């Protein structure tokens, strides 16, 4: 029987990993299935652009994987039983179950409301396609002078605020930051960021924690109201509790704890990649949730899966975080390099050159997903052992 590889999630990590596995493993020995809740590949790094009214071309996953040998199952993952090696799913045709020999968990992350009253009920976000479309409809209905408050000074918050202000100058856009705007950037990059905010007319509420969200305003510490016809929540991310509920060892964040090869420390037939993995980088610190980390971890996970199934030495993929690339609308950006301790270096790249570089990164990522088996070798690697459904050989 063929070795069943199931990939959960077809985001940046999952879609690329599935294509990489199909490119390098022989279909005579393996059966690769990707499970995803929506039929399109969602470019999460561009959802703030979609939300403000820009038209994005979505790629159908059925087209992406056509001719690759990868099976696509459109369904929502509802449960995981790593002892039985099964995944519970819900689709339009009802509930079902998928069995696997090797699992690659890449379900990503979603918005984290941190228990702030009213945030889940009244705030919008750009962490998923449905939520971005919901925000798009709301912003389209705002007239001149409408107020938009972005909560969170991280990369998502900065990109959202600048994109909204540039695309809709008729709106009054503000950003609430718990600390100082751009605190993690170098002094020169921080000044560039502030100039961009001033140029776009974005109001910044520094050292302002939002303690509640209401339909037409947010409440800051001390009960101070902040006007907001629309509140956009970008104050952090959270992973789905499915991994923890299934019995996998997870960190306090709910992320799956893995070894250097992205293999679960509690269940050796499970690998993880992307935002849902608690992976330690070369600096001894957990990798941040980011597209870059998704790239590193999915490459390491797929390399390890292929090596172990073909009785080869597992190669080590670099797990180093190089920097932050922040869009400031369509014509401006900041690329900030960091050192081994994730501290900003004094050098940074800004302006149109950085914006063109960021655009190239986005296009490159989209192209690689659209061509999952590009460069497919003429000879694919065969498995060295017959998969054992009891798990002895598959987990070795």
- 184-188's contacts with Cβ under 8 Å and 24+ in sequence apart are 184/324, 184/344, 185/324, 185/334, 185/336, 185/344, 185/348, 186/336, 186/344, 186/345, 186/346, 186/347, 186/348, 187/346, 188/346, 188/348
Give the residue among 134, 109, 105 at the shortest CA–CA distance from 44: 109
**Residue 300's closest CA among 37, 99, 96, 13?**
13
| Higher local confidence (pLDDT), 119 or 292 | 119
**d(Cα 49, Cα 161) in Å, to the nearest integer?**
11
Question: What interhelical angle do 12-24 and 291-309 show, nearest 10?
Answer: 30
State the pLDDT at residue 379: 61
For 71, other C-beta atoms within 10 Å of its C-beta total 14
Check: CB of residue 239 under 8 Å from CB of residue 275: yes
Q: Report DSSP letters for 39-75, one per residue.
A: SEE--GGGHHHHHTT---PPEEHHHHTTTTS-EEEE-
Q: Indicate if the pLDDT at residue 216 is higher than 80.
A: yes
The reported pLDDT for the residue numbered 144 is: 95
**pLDDT average, residue stretch 172-192:** 95
- Give the C-alpha separation, 347 to 189, whole Å: 8
Find the range with the poorest average confidence among 24-28, 274-278, 318-322.
318-322
Of residues 223 and 388, more confidently modeled: 223
Reply yes or no on whether the pLDDT at 45 is more than 60: yes
- Residue 31: its H or E element: strand 30-36
Residue 393 pLDDT exceeds 60: no
> What per-residue confidence (pLDDT) applies to 382?
81
Mean pLDDT score of the chain: 92
pLDDT score at 78: 97
For the chain, give the percent of residues with pLDDT over 70: 96
Lowest mean pLDDT among 93-107, 151-165, 186-200, 316-330: 316-330
Give 192-256 as a DSSP string: HHHHHHHHHT-EEETT--EEEEETTEEEEGGG-EEE-SEEEE-S-EE--THHHHTT--B-TTSPE
Q: What is the Cα Rg of the chain in Å? A: 22
Tell me the C-alpha distance between 129 and 133, whole Å.
6
At residue 188, does pLDDT exceed 80?
Answer: yes
Give the per-residue pLDDT at 343: 82
Pairing of the two strands 3-8 and 102-105: parallel
Instruction: Please check the confidence at residue 391 and state whether its pLDDT lies above 50.
Output: no
What is the DSSP track for 327-366? Answer: E-SSS-EEEEEE-TTSPEEEEEEESHHHHHHHHHHHHHHH
Least confident of 96-110, 166-180, 314-328: 314-328
Q: Which of 42-46, 320-324, 329-333, 346-350 has the lowest mean pLDDT?
A: 320-324
Q: Which residue has the higher pLDDT, 377 or 129?
A: 129
Average pLDDT over residues 62-76: 94
Q: What pLDDT score does 392 carry?
A: 38
Is residue 316 within 8 A of residue 300, CB to CB? The reply is yes
Residue 223's pLDDT is 95
pLDDT tier, 395 (very low <50, low <70, confident <90, very high otherwise) = very low
164 φ, ψ (degrees, to nearest 5) = -65, -45
Structure tokens at 243: 């991994």
d(CA 340, CA 119): 35
Element (H, E) at 32: strand 30-36
Cα 124 to chain centroid, rounded: 17
Cβ-contact 275, 243 below 8 angstroms? no
Triad 229, 235, 241: Cα angle to 5°: 115
**Separation CA 138–CA 231 (nearest Å):** 11
Beta-bridge mates of residue 94: 91
- Say if residue 394's pLDDT is above 50: no
Cα–Cα distance between 335 and 330 in angstroms, integer? Answer: 14
**Could you give the CA distance from residue 5 to residue 269 in angstroms, rounded to a whole number?**
10
Return the pLDDT at 319.
Answer: 87
Range 287-299 average pLDDT: 88
pLDDT band at 291 (very low <50, low <70, confident <90, very high): confident
* Polymer length in residues for the chain: 396
Is residue 385 very low, low, confident or very high in pLDDT (cuts 50, 70, 90)?
low
What's the pLDDT tens digit per position in 346-361?
889 999 999 999 999 8
pLDDT over 60 (residue 80): yes
The confidence score (pLDDT) of residue 292 equals 81
Angle, helix 352-370 to helix 12-24, in steps of 10 degrees: 50
Q: Report the C-alpha gap between 58 and 164 in whole angstroms.
A: 21
Is it the case that residue 137 has pLDDT exceeding 70?
yes
* 15 pLDDT higher than 60: yes
């Amino acid at each position: 029987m063929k070795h069943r590889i199931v990939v959960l999630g077809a985001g940046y990590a999952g879609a690329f990993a599935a294509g990489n596995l199909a490119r390098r493993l022989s279909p005579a020995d393996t059966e690769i299935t990707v499970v995803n809740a929506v039929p399109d590949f969602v470019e999460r790094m561009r959802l703030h652009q979609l939300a403000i009214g820009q038209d994005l071309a979505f790629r159908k996953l059925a087209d992406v994987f056509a001719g690759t040998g990868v099976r696509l199952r459109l369904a929502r993952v509802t449960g995981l039983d790593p002892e039985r090696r099964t995944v519970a799913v819900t689709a339009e045709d009802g509930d079902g179950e998928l069995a696997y020999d090797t699992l690659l968990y890449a379900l990503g992350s979603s918005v984290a409301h941190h228990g702030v009253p009213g945030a889940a009920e009244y705030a919008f976000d750009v962490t998923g396609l449905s939520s971005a479309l919901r925000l798009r409809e709301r912003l389209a209905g705002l007239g001149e002078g409408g107020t938009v408050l972005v909560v969170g000074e991280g990369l998502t918050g900065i990109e959202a605020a600048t994109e909204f202000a540039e695309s809709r100058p008729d709106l009054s856009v503000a950003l609430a930051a718990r600390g100082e705007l751009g605190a993690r950037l170098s002094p020169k990059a921080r000044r560039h960021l502030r100039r961009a905010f001033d140029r776009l007319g974005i109001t910044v509420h520094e050292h302002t924690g939002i303690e509640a969200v209401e339909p037409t305003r947010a409440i800051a510490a001390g009960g101070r109201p902040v006007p907001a016809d629309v509140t956009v929540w970008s104050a952090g991310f959270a992973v789905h509790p499915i991994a923890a509920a299934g019995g996998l060892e997870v960190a306090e964040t709910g992320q799956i704890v893995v070894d250097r090869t992205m293999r679960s420390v509690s269940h050796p037939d499970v690998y993880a990649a992307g935002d849902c993995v608690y992976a330690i980088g070369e600096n001894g610190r957990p990798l941040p949730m980011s597209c870059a980390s998704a790239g590193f971890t999915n490459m390491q996970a797929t390399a390890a899966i292929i090596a172990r199934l073909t009785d080869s030495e597992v190669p080590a993929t670099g797990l180093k975080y190089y920097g932050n690339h922040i869009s400031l609308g369509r014509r401006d950006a900041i690329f900030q390099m960091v050192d081994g301790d994730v501290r900003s270096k004094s050098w940074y790249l800004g302006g149109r050159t950085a914006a063109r570089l960021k655009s190239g990164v986005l296009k490159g990522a989209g192209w690689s997903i659209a061509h999952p088996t590009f460069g497919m070798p003429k000879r694919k690697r065969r498995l060295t052992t017959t998969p054992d459904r009891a798990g002895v050989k598959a987990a070795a």
